[in-house]
A and B are shown apart, each in its own frame.
Chain A
């Protein structure tokens, strides 16, 4: 790309905010009541984190991997790609995250979660709960209507945020591999929302920076 310094994020925005949010409206309508199942998956993760069964890591990784694959296919490839050709690449990124979760969490069984209470665990849980229960409400608060809600396991933003929260809850000092794609997605989606002047544009960058800060602190 020549004269790259003259480009701004708005030069790459291919669609209007109306079209973008209408995509969620149609998507939510078409897959209903799958949202209940994905929210139930989120609650299952919460229960597993609370009771720490020995197979918790494998099950949480399986749930998350399935959800990342679903979002890659149902959202990015089947819907978002119709208005944004870059969504094909986003789908690959989401599929890679699913593969990493399968490899690290299911095959290697390396996802072990913090048992003791700590500030880190509380914040990680807070981020996960935010993605599960607060993020879907943001659209309505911003005046977009319930049908355009972005729900964990259905839409990419709460899925990425929830995953950041979950990874912070693991005992391993730093899971850069698993954090990278959710973090990148928060940056990409935050930029798109910011370019569209969405009132909730700052949510993703703030959560991602908080998660990164905590991950780095945990590593040290």
Chain B
């Protein structure tokens, strides 16, 4: 059950309008050029978050290598400086959680980050313990968002997460999937449970979710996090073999990363995308997708057509 809009939410919505966030009125986004970071509201609360976040799959799993950890911290420093907030990780991602904690501590950004984590364990009874271990790795007071990773044992974990949310131990509850798997379960959970977020794979090539899940998310007021925006690098590597079309500048895209990311976050149901990178130049390119104009529906169709033609 969703809560009715309260004063806090009204204020948040008002803030979005004032700051010129394009998300609520995305078709108008192409009309007005802006320089601030584009944000979108989390439907269940009205709180806004930047449309580009930071994933950590593979890229931040560098173990105890201090040099590599410092390089990750540099990526995060540039991410925050460019206006980024959401960082997403999971117990499945090796040392990524520890590396994020190391970098947050080094940068002094534990209060600025929008922390998105996951519980990933078959045993429902061990979920809380795993989340507490994760929290210690991040060195944060509490997580903003806790998701059930790949809907593993979701029947056991979701009640725990709702309890934790009610107790103020986390702020939002979500579920995740990737590669287009378990969409039936995802739909079922979205219909039956008051979750705040769904994380799934959505990019210009993987658009199956446009048919049912994204409209359902809009209908139910659920935020969407898009993972695998570059298909783990293969999509952008492929795109980079072709010249960026000149008309991409109409929506302020200066590189393929921005083309692919702006396509994703311009979908009205999508709240943010979480590209992962271990390179500073790439994180800056990615964050560029959170500035300027976003494509409207006509431009989105043109973008798809162009990719299909290549």
**Which A residues are within 8 Å of any B CB, using their own CB?**
2-3, 6, 10-11, 13-16, 19, 22-23, 26, 79, 82-85
Name the one of B68, B94, B182 contacting A84, with C-beta atoms under 8 angstroms.
Answer: B94
A26, B182: Cβ atoms closer than 8 Å: no
Q: Determine the chain B residues whose CB is within 8 A of the CB of A15 once the complex forms.
A: 58, 61-62, 94
- What does the 1/0 interface line of B48-89 toward A look like (CB < 8 Å)? 000000000011011111001000000000000000000000
Name the one of A6, A10, A19, A79 contacting B68, with C-beta atoms under 8 angstroms.
Answer: A19
Name the one of A3, A6, A11, A14 contacting B61, with C-beta atoms under 8 angstroms.
Answer: A14
CA–CA, A78 to B147, complex, Å?
Answer: 30
A3-B182, A15-B58 given; A22·B93 CB < 8 A: no
B179, A83: Cβ atoms closer than 8 Å: no
CA–CA, A84 to B61, complex, Å?
Answer: 9
A26, B65: Cβ atoms closer than 8 Å: yes
B181, A16: Cβ atoms closer than 8 Å: no
CA–CA, A11 to B58, complex, Å?
Answer: 11
User: A23's closest neighbor in chain B, by CB?
Assistant: B63
Q: Determine the chain A residues whose CB is within 8 A of the CB of B92 once the complex forms.
A: 14, 85
User: A80's closest neighbor in chain B, by CB?
Assistant: B63
**Which B residues are within 8 Å of any A CB, using their own CB?**
58-59, 61-65, 68, 92-95, 179-182, 232, 278
CA–CA, A84 to B95, complex, Å?
Answer: 8
- How near does chain B come to A30, taking the closest CB pair, in angstroms? 11
A83, B62: Cβ atoms closer than 8 Å: yes
B63, A6: Cβ atoms closer than 8 Å: no
Kindly list 16 other residue pairs between chains A and B, CB separation below 8 angstroms, not including A16-B58, A82-B95.
A2-B181, A14-B92, A14-B93, A16-B278, A19-B61, A19-B63, A22-B62, A22-B68, A23-B63, A79-B63, A79-B64, A82-B63, A82-B64, A83-B61, A84-B94, A85-B92
User: A22's closest neighbor in chain B, by CB?
Assistant: B65
CA–CA, A158 to B310, complex, Å?
Answer: 44
User: B96's closest neighbor in chain A, by CB?
Assistant: A14
B65, A19: Cβ atoms closer than 8 Å: yes
- How near does chain B come to A69, taking the closest CB pair, in angstroms? 22
The A interface is mostly helix, strand or loop, or mixed, namely loop
Q: Which 6 pairs, one residue from A and one from B, show the smallest C-beta to C-beta distance?
A: A82-B63, A83-B63, A14-B94, A83-B94, A15-B61, A3-B181
Name the one of B58, B59, B95, B179 contacting A6, with C-beta atoms under 8 angstroms.
Answer: B179
CA–CA, A6 to B95, complex, Å?
Answer: 26
CA–CA, A10 to B179, complex, Å?
Answer: 12
Q: Determine the chain B residues whose CB is within 8 A of the CB of A2 once the complex forms.
A: 181-182
Q: Determine the chain B residues whose CB is within 8 A of the CB of A13 once the complex forms.
A: 58
B62, A19: Cβ atoms closer than 8 Å: yes
B94, A85: Cβ atoms closer than 8 Å: yes
- How near does chain A come to B252, taking the closest CB pair, in angstroms? 30
Q: Determine the chain A residues whose CB is within 8 A of the CB of B94 once the complex forms.
A: 14-15, 82-85
- Which of A6, A14, A85 gathers most chain B CB within 10 Å? A14
A3-B181, A10-B232, A16-B59 given; A83·B68 CB < 8 A: no
CA–CA, A79 to B95, complex, Å?
Answer: 11
A-B contact pairs, 11 of them (CB 8 A): A2-B181, A2-B182, A14-B92, A15-B61, A16-B59, A19-B61, A22-B62, A82-B64, A82-B94, A82-B95, A83-B95
Q: Determine the chain A residues whose CB is within 8 A of the CB of B63 once the complex forms.
A: 19, 23, 79, 82-83
Q: Determine the chain B residues whose CB is within 8 A of the CB of A14 once the complex forms.
A: 58, 61, 92-94
Q: Determine the chain A residues whose CB is within 8 A of the CB of B232 once the complex forms.
A: 10
CA–CA, A13 to B58, complex, Å?
Answer: 8
CA–CA, A98 to B181, complex, Å?
Answer: 40
A11, B65: Cβ atoms closer than 8 Å: no
- How near does chain A come to B130, taking the closest CB pair, in angstroms? 12
Q: Determine the chain A residues whose CB is within 8 A of the CB of B62 once the complex forms.
A: 15, 19, 22, 83
- How near does chain A come to B19, taking the closest CB pair, in angstroms? 37
User: A86's closest neighbor in chain B, by CB?
Assistant: B94
User: B232's closest neighbor in chain A, by CB?
Assistant: A10
- How near does chain B come to A19, taking the closest CB pair, in angstroms? 5
- How near does chain B come to A33, taking the closest CB pair, in angstroms? 22
- How near does chain B come to A58, taking the closest CB pair, in angstroms? 37
Q: Determine the chain A residues whose CB is within 8 A of the CB of B179 once the complex forms.
A: 6, 11
CA–CA, A12 to B232, complex, Å?
Answer: 12
- How near does chain B come to A136, taking the closest CB pair, in angstroms? 22
